[in-house]
Amino acid sequence: MNCKMKWGKKMNKEHFLIELKIYLKPLTNQQQAFILNKYRTIFDERFAAGETEEQIAKNLGKPRSIAEEILQEFDITVPEKKLERNGWQEIQPNVNSDYYYEEAPEHPYEDTYQLHKRPQHSPFTRFCQVVGVLSLNFLLMFWFIFSFAMLFFSAWLVAVIFLFSPILGGISVLAGFNDATMFQLFLSIFLAGAGIIGVMILTPLTKFFGKALRRYLQWNIQVLRGEI
């Protein structure tokens, strides 16, 4: 038995999110939660701005239409289901003229949770990929990364030593005041300033190196898994 659901003239936030969740069933729980939270946030922000829940639902458009466009991004056909007062029931796909509001092309979800199918590679291609990545790492990239890591470590060590050099200058002054100790004190102050400048330069460079290394490792993992 086929039947249609009639919401009446208005739809509130709860009804909107329930129906949207129904049509997003083919997605994973994590993907559903992400998209529903986006629309829940829209309702909260616009409600705080003075709109009613019915106006927000009308402006957003039909939950089914929104779900259809979202699921098309995943190459999934929207399920032919609607929410009834007594539960779930299969219906025909003709769902026009049951809603008070009009459609709006608003889909504030990100591409983070879109599904990406792994490319199909032949065994020979996969073998070449794995051997190529391992050879690149062991013959070149490992030594390149190791050299940069040692360079950064040495630079940080020198910068930290320069920062604490005034302590040694102060100790030399306390041990005995003369021209040599005064020179050592001023030199230590100069080195401390150089250490501060070194830290200011090394901090962003180290962050950049860390991000680049992390992305390179992620690329290696994707290649070894066959995701590229």
Which residue ranges make up each domain of the chain? 13-113, 123-225
Q: Which amino acid, one-letter code, is at 38?
A: K
Model pLDDT, residue 76? 77
Residue 80 per-residue DSSP state:
S
**Whole-angstrom distance, CA of residue 3 vs CA of residue 180:** 98
And the tokens for 23? 């049509």
Q: Are 92 and 80 contacting, i.e. CB atoms less than 8 angstroms apart?
A: yes
User: How many whole angstroms separate alpha carbon 214 and alpha carbon 224?
Assistant: 15
Predicted local confidence at residue 154, as pLDDT: 95
Assess contact for 116 and 226: CB atoms under 8 A. Answer: no
pLDDT of res. 177:
63
For 60-76, what is each residue's pLDDT tens digit? Answer: 988 998 988 888 887 77
For the chain, which residues score pLDDT lower than 70? 1-9, 77-119, 173, 176-179
pLDDT per residue as tens digits for the range 179-227: 677 777 788 888 889 999 999 999 999 999 999 999 999 898 888 887 7
DSSP-based three-state secondary structure for 147: helix
* Helix H or strand E segment including 90: strand 87-90
At 178 the pLDDT is 67
